[in-house]
Amino acid sequence: RRVHGGKYWISGMSLRRVTVLGSGNWGSVIAKIVAESVLEKPHIFHKEVKMWVHEELLTQPPFDGRKLTDVINEQHENVKYLPNIALPHNIVADPSIVNATKHANVLVIVLPHQFLRRSLADIKGKIPSDTPTISLIKGVDFDDKGLVLFSDVINQLLGVECSVLMGANIASQIADMEPAEATVGAKNPEHGMLFRELFSRPYFHINSVKDVPGVELCGALKNIVAIAAGLSDGLGLKDNTKAALIRVGLLEMKQFVRMFYPPVHDQTFLESCGVADLVTTCYAGRNRKVAEAFVTTKKPFDVLEREMLAGQKLQGTLTAKEVQIILSRHSATELFPLFTRVYQIAYEKMPAVRIIEALVPVRSKL
């Protein structure tokens, strides 16, 4: 090993070529961070960053009828998902996931979780197994056996070891270079070191831990709690009530993680991916904002998603549905009153005011 800038690195390795899969709001911000970082570390990374873009025709003037990839490459701005933010010129948008990943030996995956399998199908078997890969996907999945992490889905589909990054990260604020932090969960310490190098910026601080399931599940479950916080805001309830819902939500997050992944570390909940991300999302995230509008406008969540999120996806309600399926299989819904009430309000027409029924002691069997 040798030292670069006070950090250990692996000698004799070829330059890393990074591809970002995803070009939404958060994906574009992460691509910006990565593109800035690689230019400052030419001893580790190739200067070009590929960004796979799900191609679409723009409808807003003056770009009406033009392809999103062409506009990104010519204007150096994602005018649909991250408007008014300049992207570094070393980002190259590509509408082909096969072309975008052809020479990559680092993958950063920032896709809506409902599109993950379909998107990765085209590159299955084409990614070297030693490619460091990291997921920024917030959500959970399930199969006949129970809970499935998306990092494990990526492992299975691509045959790579997948790390995760989660944290108190409002994309627009990081795009404006407001100071923030995030947590990398990486089983392989050298991958953790690589991703710290890749994502660290003067305004974006990275801590790395080995607890991949804990980091990933915190990032997914907090969106359910944010729905509860938004419902509280929409009902006009005050800060005490909202704080109580957040506290109960944190307890349920911890209990859910412990139920399915007992080795998870308590310290993980105190990282940026845990309590910090939870607080930020419950006060400033899109799940909170849409849940508040659900109460005040009486419109369904799917309508509000289309009206308010400019093509982004509302993850909190979908995650609540997936979690409810898992809890029902284990006859454990009564142990999670907040998660269950969010699901019932979103999908079973339960009155929003009944979210306050979640403010009861959680009697864990763990």
State how far the Cα of 361 lies from the Cα of 316, in Å rounded to an integer.
23
Tokens representing residue 347 in the block: 């999908």
How far apart (Å, rounded) are the C-alpha atoms in residues 291 and 306?
13
| Distance in angstroms (rounded) separating the CA atoms of residues 316 and 333 | 17
Per the listing, tokens 């916080």 go with 229
Q: Annotated catalytic residue: which of 138, 222, 242, 289? A: 222
CB contact at 8 A, 49 and 90? yes
Phi and psi at residue 363, to the nearest 5°: -95, 95
Distance CA 19, CA 2 (A): 26
Q: Is 222 a catalytic residue?
A: yes
Angle at the Cα of 188 from the Cα atoms of 186 and 190, rounded to 5 degrees = 105
Any idea which residues carry the catalytic annotation?
Answer: 222
